């Protein structure tokens, strides 16, 4: 699914996972809001999620994902897989247009309505219309700088915001210390 709104970026680097998102909400080609928060902590702060796509759809998915986390609190991949299965097979849910990025101390996951739960090999994951710009910038920063995960996410998001019209500079970044 091509999501033409926002940028969400996750970077796992040097013992920290950071997840950031911009604040722009658009309706068609109009900016409706500049300071939305698309990053949410769940499971008492142990899981961070970011969403791109239709806001109401994303909130419906976040509620369902939070319920799956309560069913499988020690197994985020299982909770994500259960959500993806339900999302793909439920007649109402499968019409929802959003993507989720989910991170915890061990995992970085993309969850889609087509039943996909994907973990990137390099720990860098971006979604939304500026996702590819942010991923490219993050990979370059990891290879060519001494920045930590949070600074890489913020800098890469700023680069994406300079390129993508559906992404702004109102950036929120959350982080978790990773297991070693």
pLDDT tens track for 94-142: 777 788 999 999 999 999 888 899 999 999 999 999 999 999 999 999 9
User: Residue 53: is its pLDDT beyond 90?
Assistant: no
Q: May I ask the CATH class of domain 7-177?
A: alpha beta
The mean per-residue pLDDT over the stretch 75-85 comes to 94
CA distance 116 to 39: 20
Report the relative pairing of strands 16-21 and 172-177 from DSSP bridges.
antiparallel
Distance CA 158, CA 170 (A): 9
What sign does the dihedral 70-124-36-88 (CA atoms) show? negative
User: pTM for the complete prediction?
Assistant: 0.94
Across 49-70, average pLDDT: 89
Higher pLDDT, 67 or 2: 67
Quick one: pLDDT band at residue 145, thresholds 50, 70, 90?
A: very high
The CA distance from 58 to 103, in Å, is 16
pLDDT for 50? 96
User: Residue 118 carries which DSSP code?
Assistant: E
Above 60 in pLDDT, residue 2?
no
Q: Which residues does the annotation mark as catalytic?
A: 6
């Amino acid at each position: 699914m091509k999501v033409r709104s926002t940028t969400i970026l996750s970077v796992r680097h040097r013992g920290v996972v950071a997840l950031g998102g911009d604040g722009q909400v658009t309706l068609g080609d109009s900016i409706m809001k500049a300071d939305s928060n698309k990053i949410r902590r769940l499971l008492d702060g142990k899981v961070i999620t970011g969403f791109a796509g239709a806001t109401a759809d994303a909130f419906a998915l976040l509620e369902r994902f939070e319920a799956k986390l309560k069913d499988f609190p020690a197994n985020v991949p299982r909770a994500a897989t259960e959500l993806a299965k339900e999302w793909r097979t439920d007649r109402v849910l499968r019409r929802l247009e959003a993507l989720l990025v989910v991170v915890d101390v061990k995992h970085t996951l993309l969850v889609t309505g087509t039943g996909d739960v994907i973990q990137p090999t390099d720990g860098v994951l971006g979604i939304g219309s500026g996702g590819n710009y942010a991923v490219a910038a993050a990979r370059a920063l990891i290879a060519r700088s001494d920045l930590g995960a949070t600074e890489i996410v913020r800098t890469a998001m700023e680069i994406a915001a300079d390129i993508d019209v559906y992404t702004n500079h109102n950036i929120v970044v959350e982080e978790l210390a990773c297991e070693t």
